[in-house]
């Protein structure tokens, strides 16, 4: 099975603001779609996070076919941190997160472990090739899982805005 992971275009938000699950728009989804479309297969399902910055790109990629929206493809929920400047979040909370990246959840948010569980749940339900428009956190989880990377490696994977990554997946892994 082939999975075509695409990170959403750059978000329309001030630099330095925490925006995990915050539903912000994106820059130029039609231009990004135009650059990606020739590199993608035709006629396979397109899945998207429900967040605007991903969904606008997914719809631009697949204007003739309905996009399958799945909330499991949303970015991590950073709870009370959402919409705040990173510099305004209490240092002790950032330190608590840094000391337990996988298990810590910001107030009212979710942990990386919870993000991982829902992203892998989405992938386990796939039966056929798919295009998936999503976010950095979900892409890290999925790419790290199928590349069999340890947490320390997959949690640091980088994917640029609008980047396409193809995963060739053997079922049962």
Is 82 contained in some domain? yes
Predicted structure pTM score: 0.94
What is the C-alpha to C-alpha distance for residues 162 and 87, in angstroms, rounded to an integer?
Answer: 27
Per-residue pLDDT of the chain (173 residues; tens, 9 = 90+): 999 999 999 999 999 999 999 999 999 999 999 999 999 999 999 999 999 999 999 999 988 889 999 999 999 999 999 999 999 999 999 999 999 989 999 999 999 999 999 999 999 999 999 999 999 999 999 999 999 999 889 989 999 999 999 999 886 55
**Rounded-to-integer distance, Cα 131 and Cα 160, Å:** 17
Residue 117 maps to a domain: yes
Tell me 39's DSSP state: G
> Residue 105: which domain range?
2-168
CATH number at residue 37: 3.40.50.1240
What is the largest distance, in Å, between two alpha-carbon atoms of the chain? 49
Domain-embedded: residue 173: no
Domain count, the chain: 1
Query: φ and ψ at 131, to 5 degrees?
Result: -100, 130
The C-alpha atoms of residue 68 and residue 46 are separated, in whole angstroms, by 6
Q: In angstroms, rounded to a whole number, what is the distance separating the alpha carbons of residues 139 and 154?
A: 9
Residue 102 and residue 133: Cα distance in Å, rounded? 23
Query: Hey, is 134 helix, strand or coil?
Result: strand
């Amino acid at each position: 099975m082939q999975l075509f992971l695409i990170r959403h275009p750059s978000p329309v938000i001030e630099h330095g603001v925490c925006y995990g699950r915050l539903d912000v728009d994106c820059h130029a989804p039609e231009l990004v779609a135009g650059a990606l479309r020739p590199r993608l297969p035709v006629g396979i399902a397109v899945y998207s996070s429900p967040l605007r910055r991903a969904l606008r790109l997914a719809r631009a990629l697949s204007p003739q076919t309905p996009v399958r929206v799945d909330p499991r493809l949303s970015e991590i929920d950073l709870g009370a941190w959402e919409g705040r400047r990173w510099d305004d979040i209490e240092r002790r909370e950032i330190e608590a997160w840094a000391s337990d990246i996988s298990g810590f959840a910001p107030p009212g948010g979710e942990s990386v472990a919870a993000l991982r569980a829902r992203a892998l749940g989405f992938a386990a339900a796939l039966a056929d090739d798919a295009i998936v428009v999503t976010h950095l956190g979900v892409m890290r989880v999925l790419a790290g899982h199928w590349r069999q990377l340890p947490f320390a490696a997959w949690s640091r994977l980088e994917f640029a805005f609008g980047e396409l990554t193809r995963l060739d997946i053997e079922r049962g892994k």
